[in-house]
Structures are given as structure tokens and as C-alpha cells.
Structure 1
């Protein structure tokens, strides 16, 4: 890519808005992941009795196992949210910005 095209892209208001939207989404999802992982870790440290309780009266599966699987599942869901948003919202904007800069 030439320096002229790169400067056109960087000065495009759509590009600046795209960067803001993408950064906001990335920081929001990152904060959710941090809260989830640190929350789970803090529960292990400060509330182990909650994690060792069975999920039902006659169950042998502890609540911590269910919560650990939930952490992994939620991480996958958040990754899917980002990929979906990138493919359906961000990529078309990127293509439009590049097309405009190439004119």
C-alpha cells in the first residue's frame, strides 16, 4: 500500500470512527473476561465452600466444576461475539474505506 493511500485512510472520518468502535468493543470484552477470570479466582481464594457445594442435593458434581465450565463457555461466546461483529460490521466498513482511498 502506498503512503498516499495510507494517509487517505488514516484521515478518513469513517476510519477514525471504526477505530473508536473497535477499541470500545475490544476493551469491553476484555474487561468482561478479566472480571470473569479474576472473580472465579477470587472465589477459589475467599469462598471455596461455595465452589465445593454440590449443584443439587443428590449430585456429586460440585458448583465449582459448573462455574469453571461456565468460564470457558463464556470466553468462547465472547470470542464469537467479537468475530461476528468484526465480520458483519467492521469488515464492510474497512472495505468501503479502502475502496474510497483507492479512487
Structure 2
């Protein structure tokens, strides 16, 4: 007989799954917010630094790779979450489903 929603919610593995996902989700969100707002504060308060050319004859400024770094960091953090989810959360989910059958 299949378990009810209440029985699944009371399962210690389900509670572990919810807690660890929530903790990682909030941590990665805060890291991304810090990166993003750090960049925005840099734009607001130190435009001269961001406008500094990388090389004496070049047109690319320091702001370009930093901005790209902000974008790339979002992909890296997403990739980290996916790898973590595939390694740990999928296994916990499988165990919960097996126990609830």
C-alpha cells in the first residue's frame, strides 16, 4: 500500500532531503547575491576602476572580465547544485520512494 503524504513528510530521510536542499539553496543564493551586488556596488562607487584598460593599447577594460565573471559564476553555481543534486538528493529521493511503496 502506498504511503500517504503525511507519512512521507514524517520520514526522517524526507526531512533530511528537505533540510539539506534548503540549506544548499539558501547558501548558493546568498553567494550569488553577494557576487551580483558586489559588482553593482563596484559599478556605483568605483567606475574609474572598471573603466581602466587591461593593456595600454587595448580597448577592453577591467569591467568586461569582471562582468563576464558574474555571469559565469551563475552557471558554475547552477552546475554545482546539479552535480550535488544528482549525487545526493536523487539517492535520498529514491530511498524515500522505495520506503513509501
TM-score w.r.t. the length of structure 2 is 0.92
Tell me the equivalent position of 1:29.
Answer: 28
Aligned residues: 101
Tell me the equivalent position of 1:49. Answer: 48
Q: Which has the higher contact order (CA 8 A, sep 6+)?
A: 2
Distance 2:36 2:2 in 1: 42
What stretches of structure 1 of length at least 5 have no aligned partner? none
In the alignment, structure 2 segments of 5+ residues that lack a partner are: none
Q: Which residue of 2 aligns with 1:7?
A: 6
The structure that is helix-richer by fraction is 1
Residue 20 of structure 1 aligns to a residue whose secondary structure is helix
Describe the superposition over 1:44-102 as per-residue Cα deviations: whole angstroms up to 9, x where unpaired. Answer: 11010110011233432101001010001111000000111111110111010111011
Deviations 1:27-52 (A, max 9, x none): 00000110111111111110101100
Equivalent residue runs for 1:54-69 within 5 Å? 54-69=53-68
TM-score, normalised on structure 1? 0.90
Partner of 2:70: 71
> Considering only aligned residues, what root-mean-square deviation do their CA atoms show, in Å?
1.6
SS in 2 for 1:59: coil
Moved over 4 A (4+): none
